[in-house]
Amino acid sequence: MIDIRYSAEVAKARESGRPLVALESTIITHGMPHPQNVEVAAQVEQDIRDAGAVPATIAVIEGRLHVGLEPRELQALGTAQHVAKLSRADMAACLATGGTGATTVAATMIAARYAGIEVFATGGIGGVHKGAETSFDISADLHELAQTPVTVVAAGAKAILDLAKTLEVLETLGVPVIAYGQDAFPAFWSARSSHRAPLRMNDAVSIARAHAMRGALGLPGGQLVANPIPLADEIAAAELGPIIAEAQADADTHRIAGKAVTPYLLQRIFERTEGRSLTANIALVRNNARLGAGIAQELVNLKT
């Protein structure tokens, strides 16, 4: 019933059992400005190939679920105006009505699981927004991590969020949060937040084993691997704090709500840092892609 299209590269990888890493498309359409978005998306795919795995960028195009995009499809998606942002609530409706949309972390996890892909790399997951006690703005990404068995590699949750509350919700939902190679939970553009991650692992094989063990236990959800941005590329948390606060105040003044909040904040921070937030964002996504490829490879090794 689902019209699913694999790119030529992904179809071949599925036949030969090569490691696959899913990539989201909302980061392309809503997370980064044009034309860097298209360049970065292609670069991240190449990083995955260079690390020995196969990239599968996911999107819905004219009612078809694409797992792996051909270069021209990626270019078209990244250049189009007003592409829908698809989360868990929107996927089925978009597919059923022949729509086009970019998948968030939640929707990408749904598609990845459907296509049998167990690892997914992105920038930062959505989480609990600042002021959520009154706005109730909590990303569907957290609930997806609780129910869909995909290991998501991200640089923690975006620092525009309330990280303490995000970690509390992840704990409540039973989502393993694994910091990679350090004790601290990373803060997206900064390598360390002031919060300690509940778990720490130092190599891809441990993460792959934990993923497989959750499956063996019959646990439904995934894992969040919190991979810090390389220190050389980070923006110090102390410098970003006031910029994030200003962006949040602007969002409140303009009554930005719902799906528009995250793209609005990212754009404001991009302007206020004169593009440095984007440079850091690119570095951390690429870093996550490489680790994702390593975990995917180890998962294949475990099965053979």
Residues that bind Mn ion (CB under 5 A): 137
Residue 78, contacted partner among Mn ion, ligand PSU, none, CB below 5-8 A by kind? none
Note the helical H segments in the chain.
8-16, 26, 36-50, 71-79, 91-96, 105-114, 132-135, 140-147, 163-172, 204-217, 237-253, 261-272, 276-303
- Least Å distance, CB 100 to ligand PSU, is 16
Task: Specify the residue, 11 or 80, whose C-beta has the smaller distance to ligand PSU.
Answer: 80
- Least Å distance, CB 192 to ligand PSU, is 18
Residue 124, contacted partner among Mn ion, ligand PSU, none, CB below 5-8 A by kind? ligand PSU
Which residue number has the CB closest to Mn ion? Answer: 137
Q: Using alpha carbons, select from 170, 296, 152, 282 the residue that is nearest to residue 229.
A: 282
Q: Name the DSSP class of 245.
A: H
Give residue for tokens 């975990």.
295
Q: Which of residues 263-282 bind ligand PSU (CB under 6 A)?
A: 266, 281
- Is residue 52 within 8 Å of 295, Cβ to Cβ? no
- Least Å distance, CB 245 to Mn ion, is 19
Q: Which residue in 24, 45, 118, 298 is the catalytic one?
A: 24
Q: Does 234 bind ligand PSU (CB under 6 A)?
A: no
Residue 122, contacted partner among ligand PSU, Mn ion, none, CB below 5-8 A by kind? ligand PSU
Name which position in 31, 55, 221, 222 contacts ligand PSU (CB under 6 A): 31
Total number of residues binding ligand PSU (CB under 6 A)? 19
Q: Does 121 bind ligand PSU (CB under 6 A)?
A: no
Q: Which residue in 118, 158, 234, 298 is the catalytic one?
A: 158
Q: Does 104 bind ligand PSU (CB under 6 A)?
A: yes
- In angstroms, the CA 265 to CA 268 distance is 5
User: Does the active-site annotation cover 274?
Assistant: no
Q: Does 144 bind ligand PSU (CB under 6 A)?
A: no
Name which position in 147, 148, 227, 262 contacts ligand PSU (CB under 6 A): 262
SS3 154: strand
- In angstroms, the CA 121 to CA 230 distance is 16
Q: What share of the chain is helix, strand, coil (3-state, %, to 5)?
A: 50, 20, 30
Q: Could you tell me which stretch among 72-80, 110-118, 138-146, 237-245 binds ligand PSU (CB under 6 A)?
A: 138-146
Q: What does the block give as tokens for 206?
A: 């441990």
Q: Does 223 bind ligand PSU (CB under 6 A)?
A: no
Q: Does 259 bind ligand PSU (CB under 6 A)?
A: yes
- In angstroms, the CA 224 to CA 229 distance is 15
- Least Å distance, CB 141 to Mn ion, is 9
- In angstroms, the CA 52 to CA 295 distance is 11
- In angstroms, the CA 39 to CA 4 distance is 25
Paired strand residues for 154: 226
Q: What does the block give as tokens for 38?
A: 């298209």
Q: Does 105 bind ligand PSU (CB under 6 A)?
A: yes
Q: What does the block give as tokens for 169?
A: 């919700």
User: Does the active-site annotation cover 24?
Assistant: yes
Q: What does the block give as tokens for 86?
A: 């698809």
Chain positions contacting ligand PSU, by CB under 6 A: 24, 26-27, 30-31, 87, 104-105, 122-124, 126, 139-141, 259, 262, 266, 281
Q: Which residues are annotated as a binding site for substrate?
A: 85, 105, 139-141
- Which amino acids are annotated catalytic? 24, 158
